[in-house]
């Protein structure tokens, strides 16, 4: 009975609501007195909400488009950055190739300068001390025809002499090394003197020049080459340039400094003269 009563009540409520709807519909054909308040409520409440929702939708759409654009720009930026990196690497390699070409051109010119000697080209691969100017290792040895006491030259002139030779490497003792001594002569007058390395002068890039006769006229920049009386160095190889030569306290000899023709701080390739003085 309760279920039947509940069903009947729901039926009556539905009928009443339907009748009310038809009443509103019918009334709206003849008068807008009932619909006007409803429209006013809609215009006051619903329309602002709708505008707000539209604005939020447009804002979200704009932000989404902006994010999409940013994503595209970032992807393009990554691609451009990779291209820049590749071009930078290529440019650096071209610079290295250019520097190497310039160095090899200098070696070729040096080879032509001493065309009477046969030579072997070698690369500097390491140092044997705390100072490159003392001695260094090259990548050619006895298997390549290198022997102890062979003279070594580079762009400009004399570097030093082979002091040790292994099958595939050699050690070059430079003319700036503390115990190095080279018999030198002025290229214009053939007057002889001695050029001696000094550990205290290594950082300054200079070498001692001594035992020059007191009556010899020598000026800054005068060229000195290996002399014909040298026991291990071949004659006529440029050593460097005179600097600040003055009379010694004994008034019998002159002493000063020599600026090496070779830049020892930037040695990468050298030439080994295969002919030795004692031959």
Homologous superfamily (CATH) for 119-273:
Rod shape-determining protein MreC, domain 1 (2.40.10.340)
Distance CA 273, CA 279 (A): 12
Among 106, 99, 83, 254, residue whose Cα is nearest residue 184: 254
Q: Bridge partners of 250?
A: none
Give residue 244's pLDDT.
95
Q: Element (H or E) spanning 170, and its range?
A: strand 170-174
With a CB cutoff of 8 Å and minimum separation 6, the contacts of 128 are 134, 135, 136, 137, 171
Strands (E) located in the chain: 119-127, 135-138, 151-154, 157-165, 170-174, 181-186, 192-196, 207-213, 223-226, 238-247, 253-260, 269-273
Sorted by where each begins, the domain ranges of the chain are 32-113, 119-273
pTM above 0.75, yes or no: no
Mind listing the pLDDT tens digit of every residue in the chain (279 residues)? 544 455 456 667 777 767 766 666 666 555 555 556 655 655 565 566 667 677 777 777 777 778 888 878 888 888 877 777 777 776 666 665 565 666 667 766 777 777 788 899 899 998 765 555 588 999 999 999 999 999 999 977 999 999 999 999 999 999 988 888 999 999 989 999 999 988 788 778 899 999 999 999 999 999 999 999 988 999 999 999 999 999 999 999 999 999 999 988 888 889 999 999 876
Query: Token pair 């071209």 is at which residue?
Result: 94
User: In sequence order, what are the beta bridge partners of 226?
Assistant: 184
**Strand, coil or helix: what is 187?**
coil
């Amino acid at each position: 009975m309760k279920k039947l009563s509940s069903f009947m009540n729901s039926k009556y409520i539905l009928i009443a609501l339907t009748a009310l709807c038809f009443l509103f519909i019918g009334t709206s054909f003849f008068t807008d007195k009932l619909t006007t308040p409803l429209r006013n409520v809609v215009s006051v409440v619903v329309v602002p909400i709708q505008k707000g929702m539209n604005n939020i939708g447009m804002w979200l759409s704009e932000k989404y488009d902006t994010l999409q654009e940013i994503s595209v720009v970032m992807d393009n930026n990554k691609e451009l950055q990779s291209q820049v990196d590749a071009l930078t690497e290529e440019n650096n390699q071209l610079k290295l190739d250019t520097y190497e070409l310039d160095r090899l051109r200098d070696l070729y010119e040096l080879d032509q300068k001493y065309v009477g000697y046969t030579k072997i080209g070698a690369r500097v691969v390491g140092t044997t001390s705390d100072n490159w100017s003392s001695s260094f290792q090259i990548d050619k040895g006895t298997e390549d025809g290198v022997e102890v006491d062979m003279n070594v030259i580079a762009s400009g002139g004399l570097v030093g002499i082979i002091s040790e030779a292994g099958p595939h490497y050699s050690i070059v003792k430079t003319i700036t090394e503390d115990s190095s001594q080279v018999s030198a002569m002025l290229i214009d007058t053939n007057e002889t003197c001695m050029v001696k390395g000094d550990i205290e002068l290594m950082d300054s890039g200079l070498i001692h020049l001594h035992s020059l006769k007191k009556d010899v006229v020598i000026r800054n920049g005068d060229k000195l080459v290996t002399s014909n009386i040298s026991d291990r160095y071949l004659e006529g190889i440029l050593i460097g340039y005179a600097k600040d030569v003055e009379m010694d306290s004994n008034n019998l000899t002159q002493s000063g400094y020599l600026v090496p023709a070779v830049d020892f701080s930037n040695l990468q390739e050298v030439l080994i003269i295969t002919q030795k003085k004692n031959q």
